[in-house]
Structure 1
Amino acid sequence: MMHSRQPMFLAWGEELTFLYNQPYATILGPRHPAAFARPFEQVWSDIWPDIKPLVDRALAGESTWRENMHLVMTRHGYPEDTWYTFSYSPLHDDDGRIVGMFCSAIETTGQVLAEQALRENEGRFRALLDATPAMMWVTDRNGDCTHLNQSWYAFTGQTPATGLGHGWLDAVHPADRPAAERKFEDATRTKSPLRLDYRLRHADGTWRYAIDAAQPRLAEDGTYLGHVGSVLDITDRRQAEERQTLLAREVDHRAKNVLAVVQAMIRMTQADDVDSYALALQGRVAALARAHTLLAADRWAAADLGALLAGELTAFLGEERAVRVVLTGPTVALPPGTAQPLTMIVHELATNAFKHGALSAQTGRLEVCWSVQDGRLRLDWTERGGPALAGAPQRLGFGTRVLDGTVRRQLGGRLQLDWRAEGLACRLEVPLTPKAAGAAEQPGLMWGTG
């Protein structure tokens, strides 16, 4: 015993004389060396009530063992929490009589306090994780998930029984699971940071896009303990990015379409001189811009017919429009494929009325009324009070050809022009659905499809 590096002592005889080796002196602290050869009860009087039952059992012939037993000692003049792992065994003389007891012991105070601190820190850490809105997880050095916070369970509908270990992988989309599992195992093997995307099953059964990021968890001495990671639901962000991509494509499409329409305007506009040509072209481009403004206000879903007519006629008459023009009809939402060509139709009618028809005279008036039946828009344009008309023109002008081509070929509708003496009466009917207006879906037509 005296030569062992393990702390040991024996208590011998009726007074249990205390004999110990040098490693045990460290446990005694200031009680060494006075404790040597004194009665056991006197040496450890402060803990005697705690250990006497074990001493009695040893003297009765029974060996006992205790792991991390808590004892409050006053080795240094103040109560001190200590922990020990030790065994008590009976000692026999040559005749087999019990004449004392033997102890092999080790103080585990540092280890117990460290484990307590670790558990407390782990408890605080897990409480912090559970209070975090993001989904959080912790693994051990083998890659087994030892903690999933409440946000994970609330999101996935899993429980600790189904999620811990490698059960969390059951919530990953089957198509994404192999890659996720492989990257997870690689990060554990190499003790490196982790980042991966996958689809995660929501508690309602839907699949959500998630991003998972983690860092190695290290002890103070650098020992790898596992990983700690967070999972974020990025479905909304991903959908926003997809919408942004679609929007960029839509902007590109509309920009090309506008350029195509402007090119058509340049090609088709006719005039006797440069100034007239510029004026006509500016008017058509401005009409196109007004149509785009209306569509943009409703995110290119539709344009209000009444607003379209009012805006186009106000461009010609200003404040007089309220006096000289009557607009009558229900609220009609024009799809983009109809709104843009119809704007150009109204612009050509207004241009003709302002130059040659009712709006060229102060006494002239215009009435525009419309209705919708069976998915078709019927619009009546009636001029009165302008210069008297001698009937239909002998030669179809540019504006008339534009009207006919746009209504019939582009919108798949019908056009009727009545050159009455009191003024032009125009009736047009066009379908309001892209499927009905089959020609409106074809590229390269007169005013584009929006």
Structure 2
Amino acid sequence: MNEYSDIEAAGLQFLEDGGECGALIAARDWSTSLGDPRRWPQSLKTATSLLLRSPVPIVMLWGEDGIMLYNDAYSMFAGGRHPELLGSKVREGWPEVADFNDNVMKIGLAGGTLQYSDQELTLYRHGRPEQVWMNLDYSPVIDESGKPAGVLAIVVETTERVAAEHALRERESRLRFFDELGQATRALADPFEIMAVTARMLGQHMHASVCAYADMDEDEDGFTIRGDWAAPGSKSIVGKYKLVDFGDRAVTELHAGRPLITRDTLTELGPEEGEGLLSLGLKATVCMPFIKAGKLTALMAVHQAAPRNWTDADLALISEATERSWAYIERTRSEAFLRESESRFRNMADNSPMMVWVTDPTGFCNYLNRRWYEYTGQEEGEGEGFGWLKAVHPDDLSTAEKAFVSANAEQRDYRVEFRLRRADGSYRWVIDAAAARVGADGTFLGYIGSVFDIDERREAEERLAFHEEQLRLAIDAAEIGLWDVDLLQDTLYWPPRLKQMFGIDPDVPVSMADFYNGLHPDDRETTLAAFQTALDPALRALYDVEYRTIGKEDGVVRWVAAKGRGFFDEQGRCIRALGTAIEITDRKKAEQHQRLLIDELSHRAKNLLAIVQSVAHQTFRGEGSPDEMRKAFEGRIGALGAAHSVLTQQKWESAPVRQIICDTVFAVASNLNRLNLDGPELTLSPKTAVSLAMAIHELATNALKYGALSNDSGTVEVAWSTAANRLRFEWRERGGPPVEAPERRGFGSRMIERGLSAELGGTVKIHFEPQGVVCIVDAPLPESGN
């Protein structure tokens, strides 16, 4: 039995379809809290059944103790406290927010409702404190007496969204701060003025007590606080100090290039090690080191007169401000040496047709050339710092900023495309790119970058996409199927047209197994060998094959012509194969029909040559002069040609008897006035028709020379009939010279009696009667006749 049948058997149908939590409720011993679930009040059963089926996280707090019943969605919210949390008392289950839940129970059991939006709480869901935000809706659950018996809570965690909003606000605040700091220090040349302004603005921005800056002595122990900013009520700490007086932790962390951070100096360092800070009234501190060439060179510190929980954003801001400040100082100290080269660079950049920009190592843009300002219409200096982002299209701002900030943080080359506002207010696509600058000692120096207008290129890409669509339409019109094999992922792409070639429905997914299994057994070996040759890095052959497929779903045999190539990576591996396929079944059928026609033509040509050879042999072997034999041969060939003409007109399917007789006799006598025909419409097979034509030619030639057609009054009667599925054919000559039987039979007589009888499978007799020659044919009716 499954869990649902178990629930039903136990009489707990209200827990059916309740997921994991429904099963846990059914299996739990409730004797010490809510009692046997089968005897729960109907209001509790109904509420439990509803919350278990809800996809939204819901928990019900039942009774004065707030016994917890919840669904699978809430169990995900509970994290590591599930499943022990199920059935527990809410104040004990969530002890860190017991007071909050105590208020919820008081309000809910009194019939009131509560609603919280983005409520912040600290929970221990996984054994550690977590700041979470939630949308909470509490409402009472009414029992059978009409009084509140429990509280139903809908819990939707919004931590991710709220954290993202906080991060966005912090980022915006940070950007504004550094933009303002950049503007305030841009015109300053004295290092101490830069540090004084930085300390003041950073301390005010962070609402700190004291913000100070110092430089280290050569021994990296003594240091001098050159200046500071102190909030009202706090005192200046300018003076000379030794690092060792601030404890071992300060020495270790700062010399390692790590910040010294205390959130509660007395608690974390103790009264002895923390004496140096505590004596100055500093109960929380962040001291950032500045390391140059591996040596501790300078410090910047932010202090608080009371304990403070520094956030990651606080630490990042102080760290960045420290780096920026000392970068400013380094810049001003080297300006004298760089002034001449900078002047040359600016002259070159300002006269360049492209937009050029420069940043320091922190990512602060300290120069944009004249072309930038002409192009964007920004005021001189407006684009420095992070002001250049103001000219970026709002929809591309996040992408451009993220690409630059991440590249700068990783000190790698930078490249991104975005839309940039021109002076006329229109936006055009540009490429912003730069290579990371590195000093002789490997120090990252920032970027010198350029911006190119690529709007025309983007238009060209769109046109290319249009042409690609045209190509796709052309491929569709040509009924070509494209195929793509990803050999690394072992995936196969077939469009519906190609699936059809393998008898597969368009919506059915395919794999290489469908290709292998769909090949005709007789073609599989050669096709797969060709495919493997195309994938072989040593050969890289063109995949060009024709093969048959057997439809997976319809069993239909189809012919397919496929072409393609393999694509190889730098290591020589074939990573992909692309190609086309087209169904050529109709073409193959046409080729097969053409081969049959050619074979038939060849067969007929051979038969014709054999007949010609036999006629020539018999004719020129006989008696008579060469001229007579030549004329006899030409006549017989003419009869053969006439028969072939008739058959050609009939597409070599059958030949009418009447037309064979008329055409053959006319070729000999050039006159059909003395020819009398009597017989039904009857057609003969090609082979029989040729034999009959040859026989009639011999009879007509003999009649013209010696018989009824040799004078002006003789006639020839030709009759044919069919009866009892037999053919009777008669040739009778009348009115010619008296006939005498020859002493021996010539070629013509032999051909008629032997050849025609063999062809028809019957008897053929020639009678030399005094009144004229008679030829009688009696044979089974040929199957091809009608």
**TM-score exceeds 0.5:** yes
Tell me, yes or no, if the aligned pair for 2:643 and 2:689 is still in contact at 8 Å: yes
State the distance in 2 between where 1:168 and 1:289 align. 54
Contact 1:130–1:149 at 8 Å: present in 2 too? no
Q: How has the CA–CA distance of structure 1 residues 70 and 287 changed in structure 2, closer, same or farther, with 3 Å as cutoff?
A: closer
Q: Is the 8 A contact 1:388 1:421 kept in 2?
A: yes
Take 2:682 and 2:590, find their aligned partners in 1: how far apart are those partners?
Answer: 35
Q: CA deviation at 1:235?
A: 0.8
What is the Cα deviation at residue 13 of structure 1?
6.9
Gaps of 5+ in 1: 1-8, 54-68, 85-106, 437-450
What is the RMSD computed on CA atoms of the aligned residues? 4.8
What are the within-5 Å matches in structure 2 for residues 386-397 of structure 1? 386-389=736-739, 393=741, 395-397=743-745
- Counterpart of 2:696 (choices 310, 324, 346) is 346
Instruction: In structure 2, give the amino acid aligned to 1:395.
Output: E
CA shift at 1:195, angstroms? 0.6
Assess if the C-alpha contact under 8 Å between 2:695 and 2:752 holds in 1: yes
Asked if 2 retains the 8 angstrom alpha-carbon contact of 1:358 and 1:387, the reply is yes
Q: Report Cα offsets for 1:406-442 as digits up to 9, x if no partner.
A: 3444542113445545433332123454899xxxxxx
Q: TM-score, normalised by structure 2?
A: 0.40
Name the residue aligned to 1:227: 578
Q: Aligned partner of 1:179: which letter?
A: T
Shift of 1:363: 1.3
Secondary structure in 1 matching 2:521: coil
2:608 is equivalent to residue 260 of structure 1: no
Displacement of 1:139 in angstroms is 1.5
Q: Give the 3-state SS of the residue equivalent to 1:382 in structure 2.
A: strand
Asked whether the 8 Å contact 2:365–2:384 carries over to 1, the reply is: no
**Which of these residues, 156, 162, 181, is aligned with residue 528 of structure 2?**
181
Question: How big is the shift at 1:246?
Answer: 1.3
From 250, 257, 263, the counterpart of 2:603: 250
Out of 535, 543, 555, which is 1:194 matched to?
Answer: 543
Conserved 8 A contact 1:265-1:284: no
User: Over residues 102-135 of structure 1, what are the superposed CA-to-partner deviations in whole Å (9 max), with x where a residue is unaligned?
Assistant: xxxxx9x99xx89x97994796277336523232
The answer to which of 401-410 and 21-30 deviates more is: 21-30
Is the CA contact 2:735–2:771 (under 8 Å) kept in the aligned structure 1? Answer: yes
Quickly say closer, same or farther: Cα 1:122–1:371, change in 2 above 3 A: same
What secondary structure sits across from 1:175 in the alignment?
A: helix
User: Aligned in 2, Cα 1:185/1:16: closer, same or farther, shift over 3 Å?
Assistant: farther
- Secondary structure (helix, strand or coil) at the match of 1:266 reads helix
**Whole-angstrom CA distance in 2 between matches of 1:147 and 1:247:** 44
**Partner of 2:653: helix, strand, or coil?**
coil
204 and 371 in structure 1: CA distance in 2 versus 1, 3 angstrom threshold: farther
- Matched position secondary structure for 1:363: coil
Does the residue aligned with 2:522 lie in a helix, a strand or coil?
A: coil
Decide which of 716, 719, 732 is 1:382's aligned counterpart.
732
Q: Distance between the aligned counterparts of 1:329 and 1:27, measured in 2?
A: 115
Return the index of the structure with the highest Cα Rg: 2
Relative to structure 1, is the Cα distance of residues 238 and 393 closer, same or farther in structure 2, using a 3 angstrom cutoff?
Answer: closer
What is the Cα deviation at residue 28 of structure 1?
Answer: 10
Q: Give 2:630's aligned residue.
A: 278
Aligned to 2:469: 124
Quote the offset at 1:325 in angstroms: 0.8
Q: Secondary structure at the match of 2:764?
A: strand
Matched-pair contact (CA < 8 Å) for 1:412–1:430: yes
Equivalent-residue separation in structure 2 for 1:27 and 1:214 (angstroms): 54
- Is 1:325–2:675 an aligned residue pair? yes
* Structure 1 stretch displaced more, 73-82 or 334-343: 73-82
Note if contact 1:183-1:194 (Cα within 8 Å) is conserved in structure 2.
yes
**Mind listing any 5+ residue stretches in structure 2 that lack a counterpart?**
1-169, 180-320, 325-359, 373-377, 399-415, 433-450
Q: How far apart are 1:250 and its partner, in Å?
A: 1.9
Pairs aligned (count): 378
Q: Which amino acid aligns with 2:546?
A: D
The offset of 1:280, in angstroms, is: 2.9
Are residues 145 and 262 of structure 1, via their aligned partners in 2, closer, same or farther at CA, if it must alter by over 3 Å?
Answer: farther
Taking structure 1 as the reference length, the TM-score comes to 0.65
Which residue of the partner structure matches residue 211 of structure 1?
561
Distance in 1 (alpha carbons) for counterparts of 2:394 and 2:698: 111
Distance change >3 Å, CA 23–CA 352, structure 1 → 2: farther
Pick the aligned partner of 1:423 from 769, 772, 775: 772
Partners of 2:599 and 2:780 lie apart in 1 by 27
Q: CA deviation at 1:149?
A: 4.5
Q: Tell me which of the two structures has the higher relative contact order, counting C-alpha pairs closer than 8 angstroms and 6 or more residues apart.
A: 1
Q: Is 1:337 aligned to residue 687 of structure 2?
A: yes
Report how far residue 257 of structure 1 moved: 1.3
Secondary structure of residue in 1 paired with 2:741: coil
- Asked whether the equivalents of residues 368 and 381 of structure 1 are also in contact (C-alpha less than 8 Å), the reply is yes
Matched residue SS, 1:397: coil
2:561 aligned counterpart, secondary structure: strand
Distance in 1 of aligned mates of 2:469 and 2:477: 12
Deviation for aligned residue 1:381: 1.4
Q: 2:249 is matched with which residue?
A: none
1:358 pairs with one of 696, 708, 727: 708
1:49/1:211 Cα in 2 relative to 1: closer, same or farther (>3 Å)?
closer
